[in-house]
Structure 1
Amino acid sequence: MKVLVTGAGALVGQGIIRSLMESSLSPVIVAADPSPLSAGLYWTRHRHLVPMASDPAYVQALENILDDERPDAIIPGTDFELLLFADNRARWERRFGTRVVVSDPNVVRIANDKYLTYCFFRDHGFATPDSCLPGDESALIERVGFPLVVKPRVGARSVGVVKVQTRIELARALATGDGLMIQECVATERAEYTAGTLTFEGRCEASIVMRRDLRDGNTYRAYVEAFPGLNLEVRHMAEALGSHGPTNFQFRLDAQGRAKVFEINGRFSGTTPFRMRAGFNEVEMVLRRILCGEPITQPAIRPMTILRHFTETVVPTGEELS
């Protein structure tokens, strides 16, 4: 089995590669990234440099890799590639005989745009942080008051997210640029969770929920428990969304204990290696299903606390890619 993972310099891509390295499938891993100094490129002998996903030359470069390597599956490791992968999924699967692990374009668009995420949950009857676009903030203030959160509709790792306490602070935050939205601030960071689901043909086949602590927009501590009610809730969300394969839901619990999702990632998550440690190797489960025809069975989740820390990849002088 051969698997191509893009984004070898990104937290998500590296987490996917690490899950493959510890998988019982023992696949040949092919890594790709635009930077020759991406750590994940040095974890395998099969590695390729590609243009940035925004570069018009990216698609042809990736297709050259697919033609050369002929991987059984390809997994995107960055947000920037998701829509491109979704748009090309059917064509690449026919042409190269590979399986592309990505949801359809509509799901990716909902997940990529946080205001569309809000609209999806609102329209499907799920609890969600009350939100609006600039121009409708007075009505939102009347409904939920302060504090509020101003954030980019498209973004990641909490970049550009501002918590405001007054109308003056709100006006100042909205004046910083376009493409913003305003959202109810739900609970505190101590009530924040991340969840992963695996969905195929309209049915969520497995899920995991972890409470988490954030640092610089990324999970650096996770607390794994069974959370049966929350797992049931995110499974309903994934099925309503129509995901294909992995989806990540990030939410906080309000005062009534309701899960209010503020972000969807239509891909594997930055906490994918955390889940692997808890007995939920979602990358392996997806590959076994789409390549081997094996059904996904919900694994038993081991309660634990997971602490993230830095480590090093050493590249001897002269062995850097170029």
Structure 2
Amino acid sequence: MKKKINILITGAGSAVGQGIIKCLCKRRSKLNLIPSDISPLNAGLYFLKKSIIIPKVEQNGSLNKIIMLLRKIKAKALFVGSEYEIEFFSKNKNIIEEKTNTKIFVCNYENVKKGNDKYKTHLFLKKNNFLTPETFELEKKNNYKIFKKIKFPCYAKPKIGTSSRGVFVIKSLKDFQDLKLDNKKYVIQNRAGDKNKKEEYTAGLFIDKNKKIFGPIIIRRIIKNGTSWTSEVIKNKKFSEYLRKVSYKFNSEGSVNFQFYEKKGLPEIFEINPRISGTCSIRSYFGFNEPEMYIDHFLNDIKLKKPEIKMGMCLRFNQEIFIDNFNFKKIKTNKGKKVNAKIKQWF
């Protein structure tokens, strides 16, 4: 019997990390999946038999510690499940791959920086004549100029941020003047899309080593606490053709995601995320499994086939993991080792 290969997944406490684990579970006869996280109190650590606690990437010496860990567990590949770790692994991808036998599944550093920064995303889209809402960097010296250009309601968003964390809706000039932000840099962004089009969309594409584009899979969604709560997979030829053009210009590899509203029958894009999405498990059910594509193409050098995407809807709900005879004090020192954890099947 051929030995399983070890795959490390970071961010097991996040929707992205947990989604990656779900996407790869049917490959468990060939893959030894190892969830990891910075905290032992994250449910995703206890999905499978073994898990690992890893250092925070911002800590001193974290790069060497991660290199040593990957060598120790003989990981063949690493999936980045935490949005906060994307930039670190992208920046250090080459050095990690040189010093280990581990393939790091992450987008190139230039595109990560472009996608993580909402203002740079806006400039890229505008420069290439793609639809994007007006976006302004919020600074004291230019606030007066912004007053004249914004349309209410608009949004104050962290210039660099994930999901809907730290986003404020601004309904009037008074709201704008009263805006009290933390020390982060912010942008002001007009609402995307036509006024009568209220549905938000997320779309995912996958680009192989030869720049061949697969997808998109397009999902119309309702968001709750920054996560797609109700998701409907749809077909739209105009959307698909347009998003493929944007992907070609973005010139990335692997997963890339677009968030948009409809404007004049086309996507008006307000966010680009060059990474695996928190909806990846939903996409995999409907035929678009990005983690499997990474394994097949970037690790095993298999030529990808066109995914057969089904239509349908997903309704999310909360779930629990139970750990018998375990207390908080013990779990803090357990460091994610095998415990008697289980997901109860209620229905």
* TM value normalised by structure 2: 0.86
Cα distance change on mapping 1:181 and 1:33 into 2, 3 Å:
same
Structure 2 residue aligned with 1:304:
312
1:269 is the counterpart of 2:273: no
Report the residue type matching 1:270 in the other structure: G
Structure 1: gaps (5+ residues): none
Aligned-pair distance for 1:12? 0.6
1:194 is the counterpart of 2:213: no
Alignment check: 8 A CA contact 1:31 1:46 kept: yes
Report the residue type matching 2:223 in the other structure: L
Structure 2 residue aligned with 1:203:
212
Cα distance change on mapping 1:24 and 1:131 into 2, 3 Å:
same
Structure 1 residue aligned with 2:343:
none
1:83 is the counterpart of 2:87: yes
- SS of equivalent to 2:179: helix
CA distance in 2, matches of 1:296, 1:90: 24
- SS of equivalent to 2:96: helix
1:67 equivalent among 58, 68, 71: 71
Report the residue type matching 2:166 in the other structure: G
Report the residue type matching 2:281 in the other structure: P
Structure 2 residue aligned with 1:157:
163
Aligned-pair distance for 1:15? 0.6
Aligned-pair distance for 1:110? 0.8
Report the residue type matching 1:153 in the other structure: K
Q: Deviations over 1:182-225 (max 9, x none)?
A: 11112478321011111134332332111110011110010112
Structure 2 residue aligned with 1:17:
21
For these two proteins, the number of residue pairs brought into alignment is: 321
Cα distance change on mapping 1:45 and 1:58 into 2, 3 Å:
farther
CA distance in 1, matches of 2:144, 2:266: 25
CA distance in 1, matches of 2:57, 2:28: 31
Cα distance change on mapping 1:305 and 1:142 into 2, 3 Å:
same
Structure 1 residue aligned with 2:223:
214
Aligned-pair distance for 1:46? 3.1
CA distance in 2, matches of 1:73, 1:277: 23
Structure 1 residue aligned with 2:46:
42
CA distance in 2, matches of 1:193, 1:313: 31
Aligned-pair distance for 1:24? 7.4
Root-mean-square deviation (CA, aligned residues, Å) is 2.0
CA distance in 1, matches of 2:40, 2:239: 41
2:103 equivalent among 76, 99, 102: 99
Cα distance change on mapping 1:96 and 1:177 into 2, 3 Å:
closer
CA distance in 2, matches of 1:75, 1:176: 31
Alignment check: 8 A CA contact 1:103 1:266 kept: yes
Structure 2: gaps (5+ residues): 336-347
Structure 2 residue aligned with 1:28:
32
1:226 is the counterpart of 2:235: yes
CA distance in 2, matches of 1:11, 1:139: 39
Structure 1 residue aligned with 2:126:
122
Cα distance change on mapping 1:137 and 1:261 into 2, 3 Å:
farther
Q: Deviations over 1:267-298 (max 9, x none)?
A: 10010011011111111122111122222222
Structure number with greater Rg is 2
